[in-house]
Structure formats: structure tokens, C-alpha cells
Amino acid sequence: MTAYEMSAFEMNVDGLVGPTHNYGGLSYGNVASQSNCQAVSSPKEAAKQGLAKMKALMDMGFKQGVLAPQERPDVATLRSLGFTGSDAQVIQKAAKGAMPLLVASSSASSMWTANSCTVSPSADTADGRVHFTAANLNCKFHRSIEHPTTSRVLQAMFASEKHFAHHPALPAVSQFGDEGAANHTRFCKGYGDAGVEFFVYGRSAFDSRYPAPQRYPARQTLEASHAVARLHGLGKAGVVFAQQNPEVIDQGVFHNDVIAVGNGEVLLYHQDAFLGTDKVLAELGEKLARRGGNFQAICVPASAVSVQDAVRSYLFNSQLLTRTDGSMLLVVPEECKSNASVWRYLEQLTASGGPIREVRVFDLKQSMQNGGGPACLRLRVALNEQELAAVNPGVLMSDALHDTLVAWVDKHYRDRLSEADLADPQLLTECRTALDELTQILKLGSVYPFQIA
């Protein structure tokens, strides 16, 4: 490893679960989300489970950041849909006349930070800055309202114009449906080296020759992936576009990160993940080789792990991380250990002598029941030393920040939350009080609508 490589890092930015975490069953195509619809949630437990994972990774030596949750319920959205009166009256009218809209406007889905944006490190971009494009998440109403606040929070975290460039979300139409880093992976020899950015799409919006799923929607379009690559100034030598297998989308694989995970020079993927797999792997290998890397693809055969077991366990919605000794660690949810075929495969994988040497299991039940595993909860941001020094220090995890955030959660979050509780106007007051304090803890300034108005 060269001195330059040692001076570059991958920071995991995890979404802090918001006070309105609930099981609204809002995500059609996400089996876990739909199957747990209207169950009683625990916002307090959910936030603490996420914080425990953040601290554990920090303790292992990984760079760890925190992304603040959003203001919910989103009263401005409800007003735009015709509900009038005071904030309390808007909530009560929505609860009485259009409860699904109140549920959608109360979702804590911004916790899944992998969907917040797409990030390209400075080693890949034409202007030598780290580029962020907020995802429009146009496929789901409850997520499509996130990107304005997401952009403000990201700009407060990565504020230096010398080091960081921020792009607004793509046009909010289905032809440019963009789901962020959940369909984006970067391969590289070292985090400071030029890499190959891998964009996976579910359909083409304008070319009918591409196949498409028949049961569930393909959320990411080829056109959106091309647009993000252009905005980030990525050259053809450093990008690969691949289509997700429509048949697995129809089995509940709503994002690529539910069927494949990559890091460094390694891609762990299910054999049914892509169309034209051999061609895709060859292009990744050739382009990474030109940048000094040695691409390693690990295929998980369907005979070992079915698509159904992959979706149930979220095997591929795991975090693949590189330790300081160069070995790789796979962070998985407990559901992987309780699935016999998945756990058998993981034991064989770590014993095989390959790059993935260890598996760490975390309890993320609150997130998993809503359809999000370890990889959903985090955004990967590769930074060199100068860029890391330019990050807002208030969002960088430490022992002190962890303890402060746990105490903050204990102070502000409810133990239980049902759909009926969303009709309580006091929940909005609780959320705003908590977030106002959080912006001071994380040193974000005014990023929420209630602070800006």
C-alpha cells in the first residue's frame, strides 16, 4: 500500500433513525416493508440499534459519520395537497380524510441513507472534487419529498466548495427515476486511486428494446444513471452500466444492493443479479485493470442461496468493509444467521481463503422489518486527508457524540408508535423539538423548514 493510498479513507455515513419511525407498508416491491404493514414500531429502539452499529464500526477503526433525519410529518407537503389550518389542524384533517397521505408524510424513510444521493470521489471526477447528487426517489411518494432537506443537510456536512460539489436531484419524472447509491458501487485498488463506478439500472425509459419487470416497478432508469455520471464529470474509462435482472426485481429485489455488494476490488453477487453477467464482469475487470486494480468477482450460486432467501435475510444488503490489514469484513443483520442456507454459505465463504475473512452480525430488527438492512442505513464517501479535514466535525462519530445521541434519543423518542399515533399533533412538536436540539449537537445550522421559515 502506497503512502497516497494510506491517506485516503472510506467514511460510512449512517442515517439516524427519526422520531416517527413506523411501519406504514409504503414501499411496493419491498417484501419486508409490505409484510410488516401497520405493526407497532419502536422509534427509540430503532435509533439505538443504528447508533450501536455506528459505534461498533468506529471502535473497529472505520471512519463514521451521522446523517440527521428529516422533519416529519411533512406538514408543507400536506398543505400542498389541500389541507388547511394550523399545523395541528392539517394533521387532524389528513388523519380523518386521507390517512394514507398522513402515513406517507410521516415516514422516517430517510434513515436509509444509501438512497440519499450518489457520491463520486475526487479521484474519479473531472474537477477533482467529491460530487454529490441528491436522489429524486421519484418512484415512491413518501421518499420523493426527501431530497430538498437531504441536499441542505449534505451541504451542511460537506460545505467546502473547494473540496465538494453538490447537485440538485434530477427532474422528478419517471424517466429519470434515481435511487441513489443503492444502485451504485465503486471499485478501486485504493480509496485514493481512480476507480470504476458501477451503475445498475432496472429499465430504460426511452428504449423499448430493454426488458423490464412485469410485477414490481424498476426504480432506477438507465437515463438517470447516465445523467448522474455526466453531472459528476466521470469519463467513459471509469464507468460501467449494467441492467438488473428483471426477474429478480419481480421477486422483491427492488435495488441492486439487495442482490450484490462491492468494495475495493471485490464484487459479491448472486448469479441471477444481472443481465449479460459475463460481459458486465469482463468490462469491470478490464477497466479496473487499466487503473491498476485486480477485479475479483465472487458469485453466490442459486443452488446455495435462493433469491427468496437473499431477500428474506438481506445477505447482500450488507456492508463490505476493508480493514487496515487489507482483509474484508462483512457486516450482516441477524436475519442472515437465522437463515440456515445463508449462514452455511457465509461460513463457507469466510473459510475459503478469499478476501472476505470475517462476518459480524448486528441486531437491526427495527430497520429490517421496514425493509432496510446494514447497507441501506449507510452512504459510502471516499475521502482523502484534506477532504476529511474539511468535513463538518460535528457529524463525525466519537465516543462522546455516541453517548450524547443516545441520551438525546432517550429524551425525545417514543418507545412505541402505531399508525393511530401519527394523528397526534403532539408528535410533530416532539419531532421539531428533537431536531432543533440535534442541529446544535451536529453543528448543522438551520436545515429544516421549521427553522428556515
269-315: per-residue pLDDT in tens?
999 999 999 999 999 999 999 999 999 999 999 999 999 999 999 99
CB 204 within 8 A of CB 171: no
Specify the range with the lowest mean pLDDT, choosing from 37-46, 143-152, 154-163, 372-381: 37-46
- Report the run of H or E that residue 277 belongs to, with start and end: helix 277-290
CATH number at 7-112+377-452: 3.75.10.20
* Residue 30 assigned as binding residue: yes
* Residue 248 assigned as binding residue: no
> Could you confirm whether 117 is annotated as catalytic?
no
Give the separation between CA 403 and CA 149, rounded to whole angstroms: 26
CB 423 within 8 A of CB 57: no
Greater confidence, 288 or 254? Answer: 288
Task: Look up residue 57 and give its three cell numbers.
Answer: 464500526
Placement of cell 460537506 in the chain: 158
Q: Is pLDDT of 369 > 90? A: no
CB 319 within 8 A of CB 378: yes
* Residue 402 assigned as binding residue: no
Give the separation between CA 282 and CA 361, rounded to whole angstroms: 32
Q: Is pLDDT of 53 > 70? A: yes
Which member of 255, 270, 402, 412 is catalytic? 255
Give the separation between CA 412 and CA 433, rounded to whole angstroms: 8
> Could you confirm whether 232 is annotated as catalytic?
no
Torsional class of 293: left (φ above 0), alpha (ψ -120 to 50), beta (otherwise): beta
Give the separation between CA 51 and CA 378, rounded to whole angstroms: 12
Which member of 21, 376, 419, 431 is catalytic? 376
Residues in the chain: 453
Which member of 179, 283, 335, 387 is catalytic? 179
Q: Is pLDDT of 2 > 80? A: no
Q: Average pLDDT for residues 132-155, to the nearest whole number?
A: 97
* Residue 13 assigned as binding residue: no
Q: Average pLDDT for residues 365-382, to the nearest whole number?
A: 91
Q: Where are the beta strands (DSSP E) in 113-248?
A: 117-120, 130-134, 164-167, 184-187, 196-201, 239-243
Q: Is pLDDT of 202 > 70? A: yes
Counting runs of H as helices and runs of E as strands, what totals does the chain give?
Answer: 19, 15
Greater confidence, 175 or 39? Answer: 175
* Residue 27 assigned as binding residue: yes
* Residue 25 assigned as binding residue: yes
- Per DSSP, the three-state class of 361 is strand
Q: What is the pLDDT of residue 20?
A: 96
* Residue 186 assigned as binding residue: no
- The chain-wide mean pLDDT, for the chain, equals 94
Give the separation between CA 265 and CA 284, rounded to whole angstroms: 10
The torsion angles phi and psi of 28, rounded to 5 degrees, stand at -60, 130
> Could you confirm whether 376 is annotated as catalytic?
yes
Specify the range with the lowest mean pLDDT, choosing from 20-24, 191-195, 345-349, 442-446: 20-24
Q: Is pLDDT of 30 > 70? A: no
Q: Would you list the domain boundaries of the chain?
A: 7-112+377-452
pTM for the model:
0.95
Placement of cell 464500526 in the chain: 57
* Residue 257 assigned as binding residue: yes
Q: What is the pLDDT of residue 1?
A: 38
Q: What is the pLDDT of residue 36?
A: 47
Q: Label residue 37 by pLDDT band (50, 70, 90).
A: low
